[in-house]
C-alpha cells in the first residue's frame, strides 16, 4: 500500500520569506500523481498544486512550486514571499493513475504559521 | 466556479443514532468520494462511488456505513448507529475523467459530533 509521510508537524515562516515543506512517499507504481492541498481554519480543502510523475519539470503556481525527485520519492512544496493568508495545514497527497476513480492517500499534514 | 456543497455544516447526534450526511457534487462529475478527518489527524479515505455503485472502500467503511446517490444530484453517507469514535470532519469530493487532471474537488466538510 502506498504511504505518504510529512516529517514536519509544524513549521513557521516570517512574512515575505520562503519556506519549504517536505513530503516523501512510498509506492511501487511508476505513474502517479502528487498534490499539495491547503486546509485553512475553515477546514475547506483547497488544491495548491499538482505534479504528474511522468513529467520531469517541476510544477509551479505563482508563489508555490514543488521540487519533485522521483528517484528519491520526494515531493517538497516551496512557498515564496509568504503571506499571512498562507497560514494553514498543508497536506501532501498521492494517487495512482491507473483509473480515474482512484482515491487519494494523504500525509499527516504540516501546520504552517506565518509570522508578521 | 462550480463547487461541491455539503449539508449540514455541523451535526450533533447521540451515540447509537443514525445520521445522514449530504453532499451535492459538481454537476458533471462522475466519481464521488467520502473522506473523514478525526480532529488533529490526517484525512482518511472511506469510499469511492461510480456508476451507482461502490468502486472502492477502506477498512474503515464497515457495515455501519452506506452511501447512496438517490436522485442524480445528491450523494449521501449514512452511519447507521453512531459511535463516539465516529466524531470527525467528513469531506465529500468529486472528480471527472479529464486527461491529466486527477485532482479531486472537496466540499467544505460536515463536522459530526457524537455525544
Q: What is the pLDDT of residue B103?
A: 80
Chain B contact for A96, CB < 8 A? no
- Residue B17 contacts by C-beta under 8 Å, 6 or more apart in sequence? B81, B82
Q: What is the pLDDT of residue B98?
A: 66
Question: What is the band of A45 on the pLDDT scale with cuts at 50, 70, 90?
Answer: confident
Chain B contact for A100, CB < 8 A? yes
Q: What is the pLDDT of residue A100?
A: 58
Chain B contact for A84, CB < 8 A? no
- Contacts B95 to A, Cβ<8 Å: 100-101
Q: Are strands A10-14 and A110-115 parallel, antiparallel or unpaired?
A: parallel
- Residue A41 contacts by C-beta under 8 Å, 6 or more apart in sequence? A88
Nearest chain A CA: its distance from B31 CA (Å): 6
Question: What is the band of A83 on the pLDDT scale with cuts at 50, 70, 90?
Answer: very high
Domains of chain A: 3-98+105-115 (2.60.40.10)
- The answer to whether B43 contacts A102, with C-beta atoms less than 8 Å apart, is no
Residue, of A56 and B99, whose pLDDT is higher: A56
Give A84-95 pLDDT, tens digit per residue.
Answer: 999 999 999 998
Domains of chain B: 5-114 (2.60.40.10)
Q: What is the pLDDT of residue B47?
A: 95
Q: What is the 3-state secondary structure (H, E, C) of chain B?
A: CCCCEEECCEEEECCCCCEEEEEECCCCCCEEEEEEECCCCCEEEEEEEECCEEEEECCCCCCCEEEECCCCCCEEEEECCCCHHHCEEEEEEEECCCCCCCCCEECCCEEEEEC
Question: What is the band of A101 on the pLDDT scale with cuts at 50, 70, 90?
Answer: low
Residue, of A88 and A101, whose pLDDT is higher: A88
Which residues in chain B show pLDDT less than 70? 97-101
Q: What is the pLDDT of residue A61?
A: 93
Question: What is the band of A99 on the pLDDT scale with cuts at 50, 70, 90?
Answer: low
Amino acid at each position: 500500500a502506498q504511504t505518504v509521510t510529512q516529517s514536519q508537524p509544524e513549521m513557521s515562516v516570517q512574512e515575505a520569506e520562503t519556506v519549504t515543506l517536505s513530503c516523501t512517499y512510498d509506492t511501487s507504481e511508476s505513474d502517479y500523481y502528487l498534490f499539495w492541498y491547503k486546509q485553512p481554519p475553515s477546514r475547506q480543502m483547497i488544491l495548491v498544486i499538482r505534479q504528474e510523475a511522468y513529467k520531469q519539470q517541476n510544477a509551479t503556481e505563482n508563489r508555490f512550486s514543488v521540487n519533485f525527485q522521483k528517484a528519491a520519492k520526494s515531493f517538497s512544496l516551496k512557498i515564496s514571499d509568504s503571506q499571512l493568508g498562507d497560514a494553514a495545514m498543508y497536506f501532501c497527497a498521492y494517487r495512482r493513475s491507473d483509473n480515474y476513480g482512484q482515491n487519494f492517500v494523504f500525509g499527516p499534514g504540516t501546520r504552517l504559521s506565518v509570522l508578521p | 466556479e462550480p463547487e461541491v456543497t455539503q449539508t449540514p455544516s455541523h451535526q450533533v447526534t447521540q451515540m447509537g443514532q443514525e445520521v445522514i450526511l449530504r453532499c451535492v457534487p459538481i454537476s458533471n462529475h462522475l466519481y464521488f468520494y467520502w473522506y473523514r478527518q478525526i480532529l488533529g489527524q490526517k484525512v482518511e479515505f472511506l469510499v469511492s462511488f461510480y456508476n451507482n455503485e461502490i468502486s472502492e472502500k477502506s477498512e474503515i467503511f464497515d457495515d455501519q456505513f452506506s452511501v447512496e446517490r438517490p436522485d442524480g444530484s445528491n450523494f449521501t453517507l449514512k452511519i447507521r448507529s453512531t459511535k463516539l469514535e465516529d466524531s470527525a470532519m467528513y469531506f465529500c469530493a468529486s472528480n471527472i475523467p479529464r486527461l491529466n487532471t486527477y485532482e479531486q474537488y472537496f466540499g467544505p466538510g460536515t463536522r459530526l459530533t457524537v455525544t
